[in-house]
Amino acid sequence: MLVSEHSDETSLDATNFSELAGLKVLLVEDNKTNAFVIQSMCLKKGLEVDWVTDGLLGIDRIAQQSYDLVLMDNQMPNMDGIDATLAIRKELKQALPIIACTADGYDSTAAAFIDAGANQVLVKPIIESQLFGAIAQVMKA
């Protein structure tokens, strides 16, 4: 499912977000500013966040530790988010929810992420209500 910055499809009332507190999230994002913003949003809602800067590091971290959710960028060094998502599904055989967070709003990119195994795709800039709406939605699935 593609969720753009203008969609209200996954927007939820902030009172519903308390059930997400304590989730362990892996943020795979090479841009420090984007990582800081997303991490700050998550920490403010009580989520625990580990951050890595590329897809290969994300795969390694998932192989070593247990996570409830992955927030995956697309364009990163060493391995992009689509390939990392595919590896998480095919090589690691992990079913944990993956939400792609990409600056590329093309339908073809969203489709490639979904085909690789992502549960949802958000287009940057990430809006807090959409992020937590998407998280709540994939955690209920």
Q: At 141, is the pLDDT very low, low, confident or very high (cuts 50, 70, 90)?
A: confident
**Average pLDDT for the chain:** 90
Inside any domain, residue 105:
yes
Inside any domain, residue 118:
yes
Inside any domain, residue 46:
yes
pLDDT surpasses 80 at 90: yes
In tens, the pLDDT along 37-59 reads: 999 999 999 999 999 999 999 99
Determine the average pLDDT of the residues in 63-85.
Answer: 98
**Is this model's pTM higher than 0.85 or not?**
yes
Range of the domain at 100: 2-7+15-133
Inside any domain, residue 57:
yes
Inside any domain, residue 140:
no
Inside any domain, residue 138:
no
Inside any domain, residue 79:
yes
For the domain that residue 127 is a member of, what is the CATH number? 3.40.50.2300
Counting the structural domains of the chain, the total is 1
Determine the average pLDDT of the residues in 79-104.
Answer: 97
Residue 15 is predicted with a pLDDT of: 44
Inside any domain, residue 75:
yes
What is the per-residue DSSP string for the chain?
-EE-TT--TT---GGGGGGGTT-EEEEE-S-HHHHHHHHHHHHHTT-EEEEESSHHHHHHHHHHS--SEEEE-SS-SSS-HHHHHHHHHHTS-----EEEEES---HHHHHHHHHHT-SEEEESSPPHHHHHHHHHHHHH-
Q: At 33, is the pLDDT very low, low, confident or very high (cuts 50, 70, 90)?
A: very high
